[in-house]
Amino acid sequence: MRPASLSLDLDNLWTYMKTAGIAGWETFPSYLDLVTPRILDRLDHHGLKITFFIVGQDAALKENRQALRRIAEAGHEIANHSFHHEPWLSRSSREAMSAEIAQAEDAIGDATGQRTIGFRGPSFCLSTPLLETLCERGYEYDASTLPTFLGPLARAYYFTRSDLSAEERKKRSLLFGSLADGLRPINPYEWNLSTGRMVEIPVTTTPLIRAPFHLTYLSFLATHSGAIATAYWKAALSACRLFGVQPSVLLHPLDFLGCDDLHILSRFPGMRLPSARKLAIIDMVLSDLAKGHRVMTMREHAHELRRGRLHDRTPSFEADSATLAT
């Protein structure tokens, strides 16, 4: 069977509130005690081991450590999702990037007992200095690219449903990427960096049309029609098979939570659905993926890819020309 990787960005309640400008995020409200057992139960039901990208700030708080430790004890890979979860990380100075990554590493390692060797930037933020910093720190893979043309449209939709000032919107001007991201490869490749080489595993989008099909989009479609959401997922998976793409599928905690669990995030896509509907979508996706693929962690996928032949790519990002001196 074809290989596929599965990952989950463990964005906590406060990270959604922070990105959307919802007051109160500074107290770091959490739903990890609610959602973590639910996620682990569904993964165990389908016999899957995946990669969890964890935010360092959550790992630094004692009240979250039991939930995070359970993930590691269940045999899942732990990876780095930055410390402060700020989508403008790619515009920071090299020193600030290194400090951010190191701080997350230390907190995540203390909480889970695992050293992170994989990274995904918040809201898919990435830049050449960030990649070089990761490579210097011994990271084996990055998973921060989403090759789609729809990033600016998603950002515009997001801004219409947020309470952000003009200054805050400027900070988030690269949120979800640019049109140029749609030209990036869908298949994994290897970055050729001044500091070394590193595997890039993009979040898979549908071949040719470059439309995202991770679970956030399926939940959004299911709000309007469950049949359309199911057909969209199956068509995307079939297109990957047809074009020889090894899918890397992305999950989020909100894929496991419904309007009966949270009201404060009702403005987010798919959060008008009850949790039972969301879990039914999850079960369909995990079942389909497991039937047709050898589902593995990102680390395992990166190691397998390295045994084959990967195309080289020299990084070029819009954020590079706008790097801030902080």
* pLDDT, tens only, 299-309: 999 999 999 88
278 CA to centre of own chain: 18
pLDDT (mean) for 33-44: 98
For residues 258 and 154, the model is more confident at 258
pLDDT (mean) for 91-113: 96
Burial of residue 264, with CB atoms counted within 10 A of its CB: 0-12 exposed, 13-18 middle, 19 or more buried: middle
Share of the chain above pLDDT 90, in %: 78
pLDDT (mean) for 280-284: 97
pLDDT value for 173 = 65
For residues 321 and 82, the model is more confident at 82
Give the position of tokens 């947020």. Answer: 162
Domains of the chain with CATH codes: 2-322 (3.20.20.370)
Closest CA to 177 of 205, 198, 196: 205
The model's pTM is 0.92
- 138's torsion region: left (phi>0), alpha (psi -120 to 50) or beta? left
The pair of structure tokens assigned to 42 is 């569904």
